[in-house]
Amino acid sequence: MTRATMRVMTTPPSSEPSIASSAEAAAGPVDVEPAPAKRRRSVTRERLLDAASRVFAQRGIEGATVEEICDRAGFTRGAFYSNFAHKNELVVALLDREEAALFERLGGVVESALGYPNPIEALSQLLFEIAPFGVDNHLLRSELSLLAVRDPELAASYLASQRTFRERFGPFLENGLAAAGLRLTVPAGDAIDTLEAVFEASMRASIVAGRGPNPADTLARRMLPVLLAAISRPAP
């Protein structure tokens, strides 16, 4: 063996990181989960949320158990805890999904409503188009609001969701009226709270009476146009 060969073999490896390893470290952790696995996880999560929505509506959020939700979804507890740390985290995820669904419905009817010849009628119709009708949905939203009263941690998420909706819906309400030469006579937030209260009370009374969540003749259908007319006036 030559001295040159000996020098090559006995030279200690460099302690300096390679350029490639330095770049990988700088880039941070890489998400290497395969696309099919991501899709399966997404499907599992949505099925758990769907099942939880139904179980919560029937048994209440506090009365529902993780086992019931898993049974309804057709999964094990392991699948649940792979997606949610605990039941309250799932509740917050449901809030987020409800909010996203409302925004999607809102965006789909804004342009058609603004071009409607009768602005009061258009805005009234808009509220019915974006409203999440259905007995289970109404029960779920009622449960979420009641739980938020008792759970300060959930209350923060619930209030944040409510604020976000008002921030998104308020400008549409004002712009829709402005396009027809009208303006609100009260703050947009107060207007939305009032309209929402009438909507919820009307739906609850209709469901309790056994007429379903959205019959043709309800307090909301009679009063929303009246309320919108009462809280607006011709713009100067």
What's the confidence (pLDDT) of residue 132? 62
pLDDT at 101: 78
Q: Supply the CATH classification number for the domain 87-234.
A: 1.10.357
Residue 14: what residue type? S
Q: State pLDDT tens for residues 81-120.
A: 999 999 988 988 887 887 787 777 766 565 555 556 676 7
Task: Give the three-class secondary structure for 11.
Answer: coil
pLDDT at 44: 95
Burial class (CB in 10 A: 0-12, 13-18, 19+), 14: exposed
Instruction: Output the pLDDT for position 109.
Output: 60
**CA–CA distance, 137 with 21 (Å, rounded to integer):** 51
Domain ranges of the chain: 35-84, 87-234
Give me the pLDDT at residue 18, please.
Answer: 43
35-84 matches 87-234 in fold = no
Terminal CA-to-CA distance of the chain, rounded, Å? 100
Structure-token pair, residue 214: 């959205």
User: Given this model, what pLDDT does residue 16 score?
Assistant: 43
| Helices within 12-85 (DSSP H only) | 19-27, 35-59, 66-73, 77-83
Q: Spelled out in words, what is the top-level CATH class assigned to the domain 35-84? A: mainly alpha
Q: Which residue numbers in the chain have pLDDT < 50? A: 1-30
Instruction: Please tell me the predicted confidence (pLDDT) of residue 217.
Output: 62
Q: What is the per-residue pLDDT for 17?
A: 43
For residue 79, the model assigns a pLDDT of 94
Q: What is the pLDDT, as a whole number, of residue 115?
A: 57
